[in-house]
Amino acid sequence: MNPLDELDPLAAVFPEDDGLPPGGSAMAATPAPERQALGVAFLVDALLAPVFRAFEQAGVRWCLLRLPEDSSSPGGEAVALVDRSALSEARRILKANGFAPFPTWGAGPRARFVGFDPEGDRWVTLDVVTRLNYGPFSELETGAEGGCLERRRWQGGVFVLAPDDAFWTLLLHLLIDGPGAGRRSVRKLERLAVGARADGPLARLVGAYLPQGWTPEHVIDCAWERAWDALERLAPVLAAEWARRQTRPARRRGFANRVLRRIAARGLLPPARGLSVALLAPDAAAKAGLARELGRTFYLPVTYIRMSAPPRRRPRSRRLARAGFFRTLVTQWQRYLVGRRRRSRGRLVVFDHYTYDFRLPAEQLHSALARLRRLVLGRACPAPDLVVILDAPEPSRPRKGRPDVPHETLRRRYLALSQRLPDAIVVEATGQDRLRREITARIWRAYAAAPPTAWLLRLRDLSLRLSKR
C-alpha cells in the first residue's frame, strides 16, 4: 500500500462513549450522504480512543492530522498535532496508556510512540508533532500550527483540521514530503478541494512562495482537475523558493536535523532501549513455541539465549562436579553479558533456563555442598527486567528432560517460585495465539512503564532545545 494513501486529515476515531446508539457502530451513527460528502473514514481504535479522551480531560490542545484508513493493516501510523506547551502532558498520557516512546533522530519536532492492541493483534504507531514542517529534514516551517489548532473542528469524536487547512496540509505533504507518489491520493485532494480557500492562512503562505504565473486558485484548480503532473513540476520550485526565504533559526534547525539524521544512519546515536525477559515454565515445548512467536511478531528485534546446557544424566565424581559447577557459573555469566549487550542495542532478550531454575527444589536429596551450589547458581546473575512464568495445566508434548518428575509437581514448584520473585507475572498457557498476544501485551506494558535512562533524557532535552532555537 502506498503510504501516502493512508493520509486522510478528515479521518476520525469514535470513542466508546461518544453518544452512539446501543449496539450501533460509529459508521451507522453518521448519515450516508454526509459520509459521502466528507469522505470521512471512521475508525474505532481500542488504543487511540482512550488517549484522545485523556487529551481532552487534561486540557491538551491537539488535532488529528492522519489516521490509517485500514485499521487491520500492521505498521499504520497516526499523526496528531499537539500544542508545544502540552507535549510533556501528552507524553505522560501516552505512557499511562501503554505507549512506549521511540527516538526519532533528525525528524524535527516529532515524537513517536508505539502501542500494542492485543484484541486486534497489531501495533499502533502515533507520531506527535508540535510544528507543521515539511521536507526530508523538516527544514521548511510554516508557523501555522497555532492557527490550525485554533480553527480545528470537533468531528466524529476527535478534533480534525478545518477543511481548508486539511486540503493545504495534505497537498504540501504530497508535494514536498513525497514527490511523485501522489497519484493515488488525487481523489482525496479533489474531495478536499471543495472546502479549500484561495485566501486562507495556508493559501497565503503557499502563495508567497509560488513562482510567477501560479496562484493559490491555480493550485486548487489543478487538484480539482487532477492535473498532478503540473503539481509535481511545481513541487521542486516551491520547495527551493521556500528554503531560500527561511529564517536563520529555521535554517539552523534544519541543519541540526540533517546532521542528526546522518549520525543516526551510521549507528552513532543510541537506538531504542531494549528489554530482558526470563521465560520460565514446566513445559519446555510451550516455552519454545512462545519464543518463536515473539521473534516473529514482536515490535523489537528478539534475541533468544539459553542460559545453561541441558543437565547431565550420568553420575559424576566430586572433582567433576566441582568443575561442572564453575563451568556452569562461567557459562551463565557469559550468556548474561551477551544478553546485556544485545539489550543495549534495542533488542528484546528472552532468557531460557535462567538462573531461577536452580531455585526450584531438587528432585533428590543432596548434601549441604550440593545445596550450597544450587543456592549460588540460583542467584548468580542479576535479575532481568521481567520474569514470565507459563502456567501450563497439561504438557503440550511428552517431556524429554526430568521424566521422573510429574508435570503437576513441576507446575506447583514454578507457581511457588513466582511468589518469591517480586517482578514475576504468571500467565496461563492455553492457546498459542492467545498466549502470545497476552504475553506481548504484558511485556509491552512493562516496556512502556520503564523510566528512560539518564543519557536518553539528556539527549531528548538537547533535541528539544535545538528545535526551539
Q: How many Cβ atoms sit within 10 Å of the Cβ of residue 448?
A: 19
What percentage of the chain's residues is helix, strand, coil (to nearest 5)? 50, 15, 35
Predicted confidence at residue 29, as pLDDT, reads 34
Pick the closest to residue 234 from 159, 192, 308, 180 (CA basis). Answer: 180
41 pLDDT more than 60: no
Q: Judge if 189 and 311 occupy the same domain.
A: no
Residue 108: the pLDDT is 81
Q: What is the pLDDT of residues 324-369, one digit of tens each?
A: 788 889 899 999 999 999 999 999 999 998 999 988 887 665 678 8
> Both 98 and 125 in a single domain?
yes
- Closest alpha carbon to 94 in 138, 62, 132, 131: 62
- pLDDT at residue number 6: 33
Q: Looking at the structure, tell me whether residues 249 and 280 fall in a common domain.
A: no
pLDDT at 429: 78
Q: Looking at the domain assignment, is residue 162 inside a domain?
A: yes
**85 domain residue, yes or no:** yes
CATH at 296: 3.40.50.300
Give yes or no for residue 260 having a pLDDT over 90.
no
Using CA atoms, how far residue 278 sits from 103, 356, 432, 435, in Å, is 26, 9, 18, 16
Report pLDDT for 33: 36
On whether residue 456 sits in a domain, the answer given is: no
Q: Quick one: pLDDT at residue 2?
A: 33
- Please state the rounded mean pLDDT for residues 176-182: 60
Q: What is the pLDDT of residues 111-170, one digit of tens each?
A: 999 999 998 888 999 999 999 999 888 889 999 999 999 999 998 788 999 999 999 998
Examine residue 455 and state whether it is found in any structural domain, yes or no. no
Q: Which residue has the higher pLDDT, 35 or 152?
A: 152
Residue pointed to by grid coordinates 487538484 = 223
Which residue among 250, 268, 286 closes a domain?
Answer: 268
Residues 79 and 125 in one domain: yes
Q: Say which range, 3-12, 348-357, 454-463, has the weakest mean pLDDT.
A: 3-12
Q: Is the pLDDT of residue 37 over 50?
A: no
Among 268, 283, 304, the domain boundary falls at: 268
Task: Kindly state whether residues 181 and 304 are assigned to the same domain.
Answer: no
CATH number of the domain at 72, please.
Answer: 3.30.460.40
Place of cell 486522510: 8
User: What pLDDT does residue 318 have?
Assistant: 56
Residues 179 and 80 in one domain: yes
What is the rounded distance in angstroms from the CA atom of residue 444 to the CA atom of residue 438?
A: 10
At 94-107, the pLDDT tens digits run 999 999 999 888 88
How high is the pLDDT of residue 144?
A: 93
- pLDDT of amino acid 156: 78
Indicate if 291 and 310 belong to the same structural domain: yes
| Residue 377 and residue 332 in contact, taking contact as beta carbons nearer than 8 Å | yes
Which residues make Cβ contacts (< 8 Å) with residue 434, sequence separation at least 6? Answer: none
For residues 400 and 448, the model is more confident at 448
Residues 234 and 120 in one domain: yes
**Least-confidence region, from 167-181, 338-352, 363-377, 448-462:** 448-462
What pTM value is reported for the model? 0.79
Residue 17 exposed, middle or buried by CB count within 10 Å (0-12, 13-18, 19+) = exposed
**462 domain residue, yes or no:** no
* Better pLDDT: 399 or 375: 375
The arithmetic mean of pLDDT across residues 400-424, rounded, is 80
pLDDT, residue 268, reads 82
Beta bridge partners of 62: 82
Mean pLDDT across the chain: 79
Residue by residue, DSSP assigns 182-203 as -GGGHHHHHHHGGG--SSSHHH
CA angle 10, 126, 104 (to 5 degrees): 125
% residues pLDDT > 90 (the chain): 41
Range among 90-94, 449-453, 457-461 rated most confident: 90-94
Using an 8 Å Cβ cutoff, are 339 and 355 in contact? no
> Each residue of 54-91: pLDDT tens digit?
999 999 999 998 766 444 444 457 899 999 999 999 99
User: With bands split at pLDDT 50, 70 and 90, how would you rate the model's confidence at 428?
Assistant: confident
At residue 153, what is the residue type?
A: R
Number of domains in the chain: 2
Q: Mark whether 218 and 335 lie in a shared domain.
A: no
- Is the pLDDT at 176 greater than 60? The verdict is yes
Buried b (16+ CB within 10 A) or exposed e, 291-303: bebbeebbbbebb
What is the length of the chain?
Answer: 469
Q: Is the pLDDT of residue 43 over 60?
A: no
Q: Which triple of cell numbers denotes residue 385?
A: 527486567
Catalogue the E-assigned strands of 2-44: 12-13, 42-43
The most distant pair of C-alpha atoms in the chain lies apart, rounded to whole Å, by: 94
Using an 8 Å Cβ cutoff, are 30 and 43 in contact? no
Is 86 inside any structural domain?
A: yes
- Summarize the confidence of residues 244-273 as an average pLDDT: 87
HSE, CB side, 13 Å, CA atoms: give it for residue 414.
28
Map residue 102 onto helix, strand or coil.
strand
From 268, 285, 315, the end of a domain falls on 268
Mark whether 264 and 280 lie in a shared domain: no
Residue 309 C-alpha cell reads as 546446557
Task: Tell me what pLDDT residue 404 has.
Answer: 61
Q: Do 169 and 32 share a structural domain?
A: yes
Residue 413 near residue 280 (C-beta atoms within 8 A): no
Q: At what angle do helices 216-224 and 163-172 cross, to 10 degrees?
A: 80
Residue 181's pLDDT band (cuts 50, 70, 90): very low
Which pLDDT belongs to residue 21? 27
Host domain of residue 353: 275-449
Residue 192: inside a domain, yes or no? yes
In terms of domains, do 249 and 346 share one? no
Asked if residue 461 belongs to a domain, the reply is no
Can you tell me the mean pLDDT for 208-225? Answer: 92
